[in-house]
């Protein structure tokens, strides 16, 4: 993840303008949110994907050690901490939302939050059964900059899960970048384009991976309210 001195200030200002900052009470209930909220439909998608991830991990051995990279306000970590026997850690460079996560979820014994990235000393000395990138992989400029380090933190048989993020065909990149640029410009946050990256599905080729959900399959393409994001699992 590329970080500048004022990245967090810009990021939080953008999230505020997008109505993506939540009260402590709202955070306690996420991904459930009032139907009148402007991002209600998005949260319905995230609820579905988080439930599927939780079900998948719950079927594994007990005592899972789970890390979420780019955990933000910690709502998904909270969701994952309900897996029996799990221990969950969340990391982020966004101190504002991370402090909220610590404040709201500090009563949960099997859940911890840490400032920084995977080079955090506490994280670097751990091994995990699952590492999750949920709506965060797009803030890393290249998969080869982040996935090898994540794989080194996995226990044998561990998995990396990438969800709630777009992956593109090479032919789609130019249009996707233009769409992102136009979006940020419309909000008067054009400088945020330097922190947002568009990844191709073929960047995954060097890794032992499987698509648990592929939105481009014909059976999914015409599903009502389909999830537009793939669910990618990378094996240790």
DSSP per-residue codes, 177-194: HHHHHHHHHHTT-GGGGG
- Residue range 46-93, pLDDT digits in tens: 999 999 999 999 998 778 999 999 999 999 999 999 999 999 999 999
Q: What is the 3-state secondary structure (H, E, C) of 50-108?
A: HHHHHHHHHCCCCCCEEEEECCCCCHHHHHHCCCCCCEEEEEECCHHHHHHHHHHHCCC
Q: Please say whether the beta carbons of 87 and 64 come within 8 A.
A: yes
Predicted pLDDT at 4: 53
Predicted pLDDT at 87: 97
pTM: 0.94
Enumerate domains of the chain plus CATH numbers.
Answer: 7-235 (3.40.50.150)
**In the predicted structure, residue 1 carries a pLDDT above the cut 60:** no
- Residue range 84-114, pLDDT digits in tens: 999 999 999 999 999 999 999 999 999 999 9
Predicted pLDDT at 220: 66
- Residue range 183-199, pLDDT digits in tens: 999 999 999 999 999 99
- Residue range 7-30, pLDDT digits in tens: 888 999 999 999 999 999 999 999
**In the predicted structure, residue 221 carries a pLDDT above the cut 70:** no
56-60, 154-158, 220-224, 226-230: lowest mean pLDDT where? 220-224
Residue whose token pair is 């032919």:
171
Predicted pLDDT at 36: 97
Predicted pLDDT at 61: 77
- Residue range 117-147, pLDDT digits in tens: 898 998 999 999 999 999 999 999 999 999 9
């Amino acid at each position: 993840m590329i970080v500048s001195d004022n990245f967090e200030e810009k990021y939080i200002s953008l999230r505020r303008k997008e109505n993506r900052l939540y009260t402590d009470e709202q955070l306690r209930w996420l991904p459930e949110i009032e139907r009148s909220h402007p991002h209600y439909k998005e949260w319905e998608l995230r609820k579905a994907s988080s439930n599927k991830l939780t079900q998948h991990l719950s079927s594994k051995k007990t005592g899972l050690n789970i890390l979420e990279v780019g955990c933000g306000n910690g709502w998904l970590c909270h969701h994952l901490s309900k897996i029996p026997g799990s221990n969950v850690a969340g990391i982020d460079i966004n101190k504002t939302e991370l402090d909220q996560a610590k404040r709201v979820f500090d009563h949960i014994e099997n859940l911890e939050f840490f400032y920084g990235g995977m080079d955090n000393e506490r994280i670097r000395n751990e091994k995990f059964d699952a590492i999750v990138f949920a709506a965060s992989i797009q803030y890393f400029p290249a998969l080869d900059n982040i996935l090898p380090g994540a794989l080194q933190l996995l226990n044998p048989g561990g998995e990396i899960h990438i969800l709630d993020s777009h992956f593109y065909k090479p032919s789609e990149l130019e249009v996707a970048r233009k769409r992102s640029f136009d979006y940020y410009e419309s909000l008067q946050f054009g400088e945020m384009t330097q922190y947002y990256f568009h990844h191709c599905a073929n960047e995954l080729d060097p890794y032992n991976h499987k698509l648990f959900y592929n939105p481009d399959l014909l059976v999914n393409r015409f599903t009502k309210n389909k999830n537009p994001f793939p669910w990618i699992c990378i094996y240790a």
